[in-house]
Structure 1
Amino acid sequence: MQEKTYSVTQAGPLLPFLLEQIRGQSRNNVKSLLTRGQVQVDGVTVTRHDHPLEPGQVVVIRPQGSREAKAPFPVLYEDQRLLVIEKPAGLLSMASDREKVRTAYRMATDYVRRSQSKGRLFIVHRLDRDTSGVLLFAKDEQTKRAYQDRWDTLVSRRGYLAVVEGRPPRETDTIRTLLRENAAHKVYSVRSGGKEAITHYTTLSAGTEYTLLEVDIRTGRKNQIRAHLSELGCPVAGDQDYGAATDPLGRLCLHAHELALTDPFTGEQRLFRAAAPKGFRSLAR
């Protein structure tokens, strides 16, 4: 079977569209094309029979066994507007003065362009280099602006998992301070002249040396969680810059595991999740 391309002229679900376009094959055979991942809509592989089509979209049926584009990290969600990945620890979200190539943005763009030669990505938000977890990109400038212009109102939750040294004085609490960055790029709390930062945490489990916290940030200041937990006397494990004495997993034990937001175009509530990294839960037993 050779690759075939079809243009969508009217709205409707994907399966009836395929049955109309592919004559001479049974319904089960057409369904199997979806099951095997041979159908793409605007360059994105689709397996749902009821996937909605809109006029102007392009449907491609690829030969069985054709090589699919593989991402160098887990893809949590992808459609025509968004790409949501799980960024590994140690990888910059975007280029810096010192690193231009090995970034999540560059690697995600390469992934998109393997299926869409002219595909583009736009940065919506960022994670620190050493923090892993949910990272969202837009596939067009309109989507990027829609999220960035209303980020604080659209995002209802930015949830993190943190393994910290010791145990916080309270099982759950909210830390509210003003943060400032010094010349060495370290963030710390001040009485005046800083930017407000609000961090809420809840203890999930605790061991003899480490505690696993669920952290919810109400503001998105640089190194906010790391600074607040360090000042609480419980630095994030592996965070030598903020006073950690141990490095049990060979990485910063901070992971962005949930991002809940409202779709600016449909009003739909979306929740993107990335499972806890290996070792996080076992440390706090």
Structure 2
Amino acid sequence: MAKSDNVGTGGAAERLIAQVGADQAGKRLDQVVASLFSDYSRSRLQRWIKDGRVLLDGKPCRSKDKVWGGEQVSLEPVLETEVVSRPQAIPLEILFEDESLLVVNKPVDMVVHPAAGNPDGTLLNALLYHHPDLNQIPRAGIVHRLDKATSGLLVVAKTLQAQTSLVGQLQERSVKREYVAVAQGVMTAGGKVDAPIGRHPVHRTRMAVHPSGKTAVTHYRVEAHYRAHTLLRINLETGRTHQIRVHMAHIHHPLLGDPDYGGRLRLPAGASPGLVAVLQSFRHQALHARRLGVIHPVSGEEMAWEATLPEDMRQLLDELERDSAAL
């Protein structure tokens, strides 16, 4: 267990001290440091060893040095500017915030990270304005993404320790993510899509089911049937780019309004004028990240949040229900 010596100054945090256990004898220093100071990522700890911020019995050391048990390891973490994007006063809907985490309900049409074509106006810019110290966390603490046109919940790490914990939970597939989606066509039952996803071989901005892609698993459950659409509850086991959109198109039930994977708009035969108007005006995939659950990185408590549907999706579902009731 690492303990604090409270000696940090400037950009450095307090010095942490731990003792090498007898069961770690013969191991490389970088392996031992990773287990002793598990709040930080391995890559960051290796950089700190190289920079001389890790001492073994008070002396500089190398990652490859061996330990034999009983040595004292001290670490002086340093907070560095990781993000150079500018803060912007963009409103955020914050559902939860404490010293470690921040949970936001992202609106449709907000990009998560600055990129070509979207240099600012992003969630990252908004987060830096809300909490300037996030510039010391890689990607301002954003550990997972939503597409620009997908609304819903995102969790943000406010400390390096929280970031390491959340990234680990994502890798272990223990983060609970539930989505609400409207798919085209009437689906008779729920199921699972287990199909690898990779970059589309022709359209490089899109993804596709491909044998050489990464493992991707999506679970879906039917919530309601309409004249020519199905309301789904979707849970992700993995988190690949465009995963839900690609998987639903793969089983021939693309999401309503999806500009990349949905094909042209198909109006149901006999649909009410109200439904026709709503469908024609719905210009993005009908997908909302409704529920998010994580283990708190400090308390170890299971935490979960739920975000209400955006107004345009509520109007869509209301019109689908009215139209279905008229059958």
- Residues 1:118 and 1:160: Cα distance change in structure 2 (over 3 Å): closer
Q: Are the aligned partners of 1:161 and 1:214 in contact in 2 as well (CA < 8 Å)?
A: yes
Query: Which 5+ residue runs of structure 2 have no aligned equivalent?
Result: 1-88, 266-278, 322-327
Q: Which amino acid aligns with 1:179?
A: I
List per-residue Cα deviations over 1:95-136 (Å, max 9, x = no partner): 1122121101111221235xx899974212111111110011
The 5 A counterparts of 1:104-119 are 104-113=123-132
User: Normalized per residue, which structure has more strand?
Assistant: 1
List per-residue Cα deviations over 1:8-41 (Å, max 9, x = no partner): xxxxxxxxxxxxxxxxxxxxxxxxxxxxxxxxxx
Q: Are the aligned partners of 1:206 and 1:284 in contact in 2 as well (CA < 8 Å)?
A: no
Query: TM-score scaled to structure 1, two decimals?
Result: 0.68
Q: 2:135, 2:262 → 1: CA distance?
A: 45
Q: 1:257, 1:212 → 2: CA distance?
A: 13
The 5 A counterparts of 1:218-257 are 218-246=237-265, 247=279, 248-257=281-290
Q: 2:122, 2:198 → 1: CA distance?
A: 27
Q: 1:177, 1:219 → 2: CA distance?
A: 11
Q: Are the aligned partners of 1:212 and 1:284 in contact in 2 as well (CA < 8 Å)?
A: no
Q: 1:151, 1:234 → 2: CA distance?
A: 27
Query: TM-score scaled to structure 2, two decimals?
Result: 0.60
The Cα shift of 1:148 comes to: 1.1
DSSP-derived class of the 1:150 partner: helix
Q: Which amino acid aligns with 1:263?
A: H
- Residues 1:180 and 1:71: Cα distance change in structure 2 (over 3 Å): closer
Q: Are the aligned partners of 2:173 and 2:237 in contact in 1 as well (CA < 8 Å)?
A: no
Q: Which amino acid aligns with 1:207?
A: Y
The percentage of counterpart residues that share the same residue type is 28
Residue 315 of structure 2 is matched in structure 1 by 279
Residue 187 of structure 1 is matched in structure 2 by 207
- Residues 1:117 and 1:234: Cα distance change in structure 2 (over 3 Å): closer
Structure whose alpha-carbon radius of gyration is higher: 2
Q: How many residues get paired? A: 212
Q: Which amino acid aligns with 1:282?
A: D
The Cα shift of 1:220 comes to: 0.5
Which residue, out of 226, 230, 233, partners 1:211? Answer: 230
Q: Are the aligned partners of 2:294 and 2:302 in contact in 1 as well (CA < 8 Å)?
A: yes
Q: 1:222, 1:117 → 2: CA distance?
A: 24
DSSP-derived class of the 2:196 partner: strand
Say which structure, 1 or 2, has more relative contact order (CA 8 Å, 6+ apart).
1
User: Normalized per residue, which structure has more helix?
Assistant: 2
Q: Are the aligned partners of 2:194 and 2:216 in contact in 1 as well (CA < 8 Å)?
A: yes
- Residues 1:234 and 1:118: Cα distance change in structure 2 (over 3 Å): closer
Q: Which amino acid aligns with 1:122?
A: G
- Residues 1:126 and 1:274: Cα distance change in structure 2 (over 3 Å): same
Residue 118 of structure 2 is matched in structure 1 by 99
The Cα shift of 1:161 comes to: 0.5
Q: Which amino acid aligns with 1:254?
A: L
Query: Which 5+ residue runs of structure 1 have no aligned equivalent?
Result: 1-69
The Cα shift of 1:249 comes to: 2.5
List per-residue Cα deviations over 1:237-279 (Å, max 9, x = no partner): 1112103433553322111111111113221001021112222
- Residues 1:280 and 1:273: Cα distance change in structure 2 (over 3 Å): farther
The Cα shift of 1:71 comes to: 6.3
Give the alignment's Cα RMSD to 1 decimal.
2.3
The Cα shift of 1:236 comes to: 0.7
Q: Are the aligned partners of 1:109 and 1:119 in contact in 2 as well (CA < 8 Å)?
A: no
- Residues 1:280 and 1:86: Cα distance change in structure 2 (over 3 Å): farther
